[in-house]
Amino acid sequence: MDHRERNWLFVLIAVFLVFNIVTLSPLIPWQRWMFWSSPAPEHTVRVEFGEYEIRLPAENIEARVGEYVEFVATSDDVTYGLGVFRKDGSMVFQEQVLPGRENRIVWKFDEAGLYDVRSTEYSGPRHSEMYIPDAIRVTQ
């Protein structure tokens, strides 16, 4: 191997190491509980999908800043996506909702406010209708 190729290979290795170490580290806040630990959630929220509908629990979804909430999403028919969004449209988190499984994700909100829920996976022509504004209230 030519020395210039070797040097370039070292550059590639350095980029690989830096990028992966940073993105696996707690510098990405949710890696703390999604990758490095499995904290017991303070409470669990069940969300059911089916017939182009997102069915939330009868009582409102409420959480406090800093507590761990587990979302368990299920589907009666096809694959959907559970996506939680801020009021400006930016995404907080999402997961795929496969039928026949309990799709679990734990989240810790860091900001009080109202959050929207939207299906993030295409499920048929009416997919875009699957949107619930102000579905989650997070308080201090």
Rounded distance between C-alpha atoms, residue 10 and residue 71, angstroms: 42
Stretch that binds another protein, among 39-47, 53-61, 74-82, 132-140 (CB under 8 A): 74-82
Rounded distance between C-alpha atoms, residue 31 and residue 33, angstroms: 5
Rounded distance between C-alpha atoms, residue 35 and residue 18, angstroms: 18
How near is the Cβ of 59 to another protein at its closest, in Å? 24
Task: Provide the 10 A C-beta neighbour count for residue 34.
Answer: 16
Q: Among residues 61 and 81, whose Cβ is nearest to another protein?
A: 81
Rounded distance between C-alpha atoms, residue 81 and residue 31, angstroms: 20
Stretch that binds another protein, among 26-34, 41-49, 61-69, 132-140 (CB under 8 A): 26-34
Q: Which of residues 100-139 bind another protein (CB under 8 A)?
A: 100-101, 103-105, 118, 120-128
Comparing CA positions, the residue from 105, 56, 53 lying closest to residue 76 is 53
Interacting residue ranges for another protein, rule: CB under 8 A:
1-2, 4-5, 8-9, 12, 15-16, 19-20, 23-24, 28, 30-31, 34-35, 77-79, 81, 83, 85-86, 88-96, 98-101, 103-105, 118, 120-128
